[in-house]
């Protein structure tokens, strides 16, 4: 059956899965509808779910040699993001005030750097003073 086929270990490369799935180690027997029909899992098997919500069981040994757990990443809420941005802006503004000419801040009106509109307004103001 495999005669005449190349040996992937000799002529191929190593690959590993990069797709992430969800999985839970089951503490009871279970039955699950998979793309390939109804399958059952035993205590200790993993119930897996792919990106499209499809589910399937995997034997514990195979699961553990195939997948590694991805650390939980906590994502900031929008409120935390705003607070963090405000904090950074305050630090940068403070630095700019203490070190004039060293850094240029984005304009406060449009948050642009450089800002043609605000530069033009400043130029007009300077002319008005002259």
Question: Whose Cβ is closer to Zn ion: residue 54's or residue 117's?
Answer: 117
Considering only residues 69 through 128, tell me which ones interact with Zn ion, judged by CB under 5 A: 107, 109-110, 115, 117-118
Minimum distance from residue 87 beta carbon to Zn ion (Å):
22
Question: Whose Cβ is closer to Zn ion: residue 110's or residue 123's?
Answer: 110
Minimum distance from residue 111 beta carbon to Zn ion (Å):
8
Question: Whose Cβ is closer to Zn ion: residue 47's or residue 107's?
Answer: 107
Q: 126 phi and psi, to 5 degrees?
A: -60, -40
Q: Are strands 30-34 and 22-25 parallel, antiparallel or unpaired?
A: unpaired
| Size of residue set near Zn ion by CB under 5 A | 6
Minimum distance from residue 110 beta carbon to Zn ion (Å):
4
CA 108 to chain centre: 30
46 in Cβ contact with 58 (< 8 Å): yes
Q: Cα separation of 59 and 45, whole Å? A: 5
Question: Whose Cβ is closer to Zn ion: residue 64's or residue 109's?
Answer: 109
Q: What distance, in Å, lies between the first and last C-alpha atoms of the chain? A: 92
Q: Cα separation of 97 and 103, whole Å? A: 9
Residues that bind Zn ion (CB under 5 A): 107, 109-110, 115, 117-118
């Amino acid at each position: 059956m495999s005669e005449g086929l190349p040996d992937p270990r000799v002529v191929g490369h190593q690959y590993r899965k990069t797709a992430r799935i969800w999985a839970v180690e089951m503490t009871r027997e279970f039955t699950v509808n998979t793309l390939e029909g109804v399958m059952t899992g035993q205590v200790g098997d993993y119930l897996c779910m792919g990106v499209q919500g499809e589910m399937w069981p995997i034997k514990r040994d195979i699961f553990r040699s195939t997948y590694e757990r991805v650390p939980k990443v906590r994502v900031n809420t929008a409120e935390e993001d705003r607070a963090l941005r405000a904090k950074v802006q305050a630090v940068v503004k403070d630095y700019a005030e203490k070190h004039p000419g060293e850094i240029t801040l984005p304009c406060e009106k449009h948050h642009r750097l450089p800002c043609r509109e605000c530069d033009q307004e400043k130029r007009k103001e300077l002319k008005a003073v002259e």
